[in-house]
Amino acid sequence: MNRIRKEAPGIELFIENYTRDVFKRLADGSVDLVFFNAETPLPPGAVSTVIGEDRYALVMREKHPAAAKKWTLAEYAKWESVVVSLLGDGRSDIDARLAKAGLTRRIGLSTPHFMGCLAIVSTTDMIATTSHLFATRHAKAYRLIVREPPFPEVRFTNTVIGSALRMNDPVIRWFCALVKEVSEAVQHRVLHTEIEIKG
């Protein structure tokens, strides 16, 4: 927003909740852009722009009872999880990994809000598996421990998706370039921040 205020102060942004018909809304022009990871299948007539790379992190409060333990998949499955579910579609690839090991996790809270997820984790014994960049950036404010999860590293690519027709709009192109630039700057800052990653 600071960059937008400097470079295009007349622009107004409206951020809306994800809905199951989000790609229909993209196609009919109700929304201009949607943020998803690169594994999301693109609907006909849509194009994506990569805005950054990330990976999963395990997050818990600083004084979590198991903070000092070596986390195994079994330990991980034992604690209630907070999950961020944008479309309310339930389980994820993490649950598939646990199932392969004969384990299931208990989901105590499902929320569409990333900041709400961290707020709940910071005041309970619940855990979350979320974006490493996001968790690391907010760890100090929420007094969180950020660790590597007890499964092989999972990297993912973040993208912004738009209608192929709308992406020719100079304002949309400028905004996507700005998002990519700011995202890369945040990644650089986070990767060079002195926050202990306990594993």
How confident is the model over 68-86, as a mean pLDDT? 92
Output the pLDDT for position 90.
56
Helix axes 132-142, 170-191, angle to 10 degrees: 60
pLDDT band at residue 136 under the 50/70/90 scheme: very high
How confident is the model over 12-32, as a mean pLDDT? 91
pLDDT band at residue 154 under the 50/70/90 scheme: confident
Q: Where are the domains of the chain?
A: 19-199
Average pLDDT, the chain: 89
Q: Map residue 191 onto helix, strand or coil.
A: helix
Query: One-letter amino acid identity for 124?
Result: T
Residue 5 predicted with pLDDT over 90: yes
Distance CA 84, CA 113 (A): 6
What whole-number percentage of the chain has pLDDT above 90?
A: 64
CATH classification code of 19-199: 3.40.190.290
Q: Which of 176, 180, 158 is nearest to 166 (CA)?
A: 176
Structure-block tokens of residue 170 = 């100079």
Are 198 and 145 a contacting pair, CB within 8 Å? yes
pLDDT band at residue 193 under the 50/70/90 scheme: low
Phi and psi at 63, nearest 5°, equal: -105, 30
90 torsion bin: left (phi>0), alpha (psi -120 to 50), beta (else): left
Distance CA 32, CA 53 (A): 22
Q: Map residue 58 onto helix, strand or coil.
A: strand
Q: Which residues make Cβ contacts (< 8 Å) with residue 87, sequence separation at least 6?
A: 18, 19, 20, 22
Straight-line distance from the first to the last Cα atom of the chain, in angstroms, rounded to the nearest whole number: 35
Output the pLDDT for position 96.
85
Output the pLDDT for position 128.
97
Task: Show the CA angle centred on residue 55, arms to residues 77 and 198, nearest 5°.
Answer: 65
How confident is the model over 153-171, as a mean pLDDT? 90
Are 59 and 118 a contacting pair, CB within 8 Å? yes
Q: Which of 101, 111, 109 is nearest to 77 (CA)?
A: 101
Output the pLDDT for position 186.
81
How many CA atoms within 13 Å lie on the side-chain side of 72? 4
pLDDT band at residue 199 under the 50/70/90 scheme: very low
Residue 183 predicted with pLDDT over 70: yes
Output the pLDDT for position 87.
72
